[in-house]
Amino acid sequence: MHGSSFGAGPRKRDPGPPPKSPRDTQVPRRALALGDHFFSKDGALRRDPTQVSHFELLGLPKGLDVDDDALDEGLRVLQRRLHPDRFATSTQEQRDLADAASARVNGATAVLRDDLRRADYLLLLETGTSVLDDETRTAPPSLLMEVMEVREAIDEATDGGALEALVAANDARVVDAKARLRAEVDGGDLEAASNVVVELNFYGKIEGEALAKADGEGWSVAFGDRRRQA
């Protein structure tokens, strides 16, 4: 479930004309250099400006996809600006603020690197609610039944080949769900998009259970481009 893109491959810097969908290409209007959000005008660190999104913090467009190279570059810039050596002779308060800022940057990077968490965060920005943290949201009965049946099949798998087939089918469901998620976000139906995130969360758990089964049985199993060695 990790990656940089929902069905379209990694998106790199493109000198050509921008895509038509504004929702995926809203570039933050940023007059500040990366990391300036953490500093006051006199150069001292200040408390984390929580109103700054993860995307803006790392200098990225807000959307379902991220440019991995741009994310890595943003992280490197911020790590240099917030490196502990820069604050070795500063006050304890400034050192603590530097640690907190670094933690914020690392947390933001982890979210944006992960397809599911990035989609959930995008919906949080748009709706004010994190689907993954919403304990009141219930999955449709059809999805729960599907997940239960797949979990039973994983438990009953007797060899690596059977497990590979189950994971391949789950991968296909993930591809389909990601395509639907993109369509819902592009179309502005954020409630439907939230429901797809619920699906993807379940499918991610299925993959984790299959990998755990392979490890527990000591099977050498190929899961798409992933392999578990016995």
CB atoms within 10 A of CB 71: 19
Range 2-27 average pLDDT: 47
With b for 16 or more beta-carbon neighbours within 10 A and e for fewer, the 148-159 pattern comes to eebbebbeebee
Task: Tell me the per-residue pLDDT of 86-134, one tens digit each, with 9 for 90 and over.
Answer: 999 999 999 999 999 999 999 999 999 999 999 999 999 999 999 999 9
Domains located in the chain, CATH noted: 1-113 (1.10.287.110), 141-228 (1.20.1280.20)
Task: Tell me the per-residue pLDDT of 58-89, one tens digit each, with 9 for 90 and over.
Answer: 999 999 999 999 999 999 999 999 999 999 99
Whether 1 shows a pLDDT value over 70: the answer reads no
CA pair distance 120, 115, nearest whole angstrom: 9
Task: Tell me the per-residue pLDDT of 171-222, one tens digit each, with 9 for 90 and over.
Answer: 999 999 999 999 999 999 999 999 999 999 999 999 999 999 999 999 988 7
- DSSP letter at 182? H
Task: Tell me the per-residue pLDDT of 219-228, one tens digit each, with 9 for 90 and over.
Answer: 988 776 565 5
